Amino acid sequence: ATPGVPRTSNSTLVDELESSFEACFASLVSQDYVNGTDQEEIRTGVDQCIQKFLDIARQTECFFLQKRLQLSVQKPEQVIKEGSLAYLEQASANIPAPMKQS
């Protein structure tokens, strides 16, 4: 995925998310900082990249929420298992790690 390039018919939302993230990073390490380009212009470009990334991240989240909803209707037992797994992960996170022996 090329940074800043809209996805083609074969690319996925995840490809577009990756591309927009790369564009954000590229704008932050751009040669424009070194060449003394107007700070406001740089800030505007970075803000636009970040906004695009956030928009695509929201679309990606929406996609996964829709899939989760479909799964909960088609296979409700999977949602229960997932809920139990999340509970176990949370519970195990509260168990202190064993101390190292010196």
Q: How far is it, in rounded angstroms, from Cα 16 to Cα 11?
A: 7
pLDDT digits (tens, 9 = 90+) for 49-73: 999 999 999 999 999 889 888 888 8
Q: Is the pLDDT score of 17 beyond 80? A: yes
The token pair at 22 is 């790369």
pLDDT digits (tens, 9 = 90+) for 3-14: 445 545 567 999
Q: Is the pLDDT score of 1 beyond 80? A: no
DSSP structure class, residue 9: T
